[in-house]
Every structure is written in C-alpha cells, then in structure tokens.
Structure 1
C-alpha cells in the first residue's frame, strides 16, 4: 500500500512480454487518480501521470510528452 504518500499501488509485475508495469491509484486529490507506467524490455517506457499528462519514450532517442488536457 502507498501509506502516507497519497497513492496505493493497485498492481505491479511483469506481463507475458517481459515488460514491467506498475499501476497506482491516487485518491481524490489527483485529476487522473489511476496512473500507471510501463517499462519495456526494448528500453521504451510509457507513463500516465496523476496530473493527466502522459510521457512516452521509444528507447531509441525519441520521446513524446502530452501535457494535461484543460
């Protein structure tokens, strides 16, 4: 559990492709209370952040950041 830091880890582990994931549930304080990130075996990763922004990195030098909507 998250304890005093404002979130609870709802699931984490490694899927069948060998990619690590961690899903967190931020309580009512966050605009996107369900956030998660993937860390893939090819070096890429994807974040969905509690403020509504997302970040993707291909692992080969290109990355894409989407700011919070609204």
Structure 2
C-alpha cells in the first residue's frame, strides 16, 4: 500500500502493509513527526488499532472491545449481541 492521506491526527504516509504468517492483515502509517500508527485485521474477526496519540483499541470480533487512553486508562465494553 502506498500513497498519502490525512486523519484527525494529521497528514500521513503509508509505511507498510501486508499479511503476516497467521493470515492477519496489517497496515502502518508514518505521520512524519515521530508519530506512527498501525492496525491489524485478524482472520478471527478481531482487530486492533494503535493510534499516534498513544491510545489503543481492540475489538475481539464477538462483541467485546477495549479502549486504552493515552494515559493508560482502559475502558471495556461488552455487546449483548455478541456470541454467548
């Protein structure tokens, strides 16, 4: 993946993407100011985001998710529509 884009964190360029040995897709971005971000999309339906402000977000794919703020505070949620 190549090219440039912009987000709420500023302009970025794609610094890498592909599929790892487990079949999970990843994509990374370089914001040019020392900030980087990446995300994984996993074959089991889960996904993970690491944001340039230091926050992270993980969704298990079955209705559970966890957001961790830049200060390290975690917030979890569970959807009643997930698998039982």
- TM-score class, shorter-chain normalisation, is 0.7 to 0.9
1:13 maps onto 2:32 in alignment: no
Shift of the alpha carbon at 1:60? Answer: 1.1
For structure 2, the residue ranges without an aligned partner over 5 or more in a row are: 73-84
1:25 correspondence with 2:30:
yes
Q: What's the TM-score once normalised by structure 2's chain length? A: 0.71
**Going by fraction, where is helix more abundant, 1 or 2?**
1
Separation in 2, partners of 1:12, 1:23: 6
**Relative contact order (alpha carbons < 8 A, sep ≥ 6): 1 or 2 greater?**
1
CA RMSD, aligned part only?
1.7
Q: Which runs of 5+ in 1 are unaligned?
A: none
User: What is the Cα deviation at residue 68 of structure 1?
Assistant: 1.3
Residue equivalent to 1:60? 62
Indicate the structure with greater strand content: 2
Work out the number of aligned pairs and report it.
66
After superposition, what is the alpha-carbon deviation per residue over 1:6-48, rounded to whole angstroms, capped at 9, x for unaligned? 11111101111110000111121xxx71110000000000000
Larger radius of gyration: 2
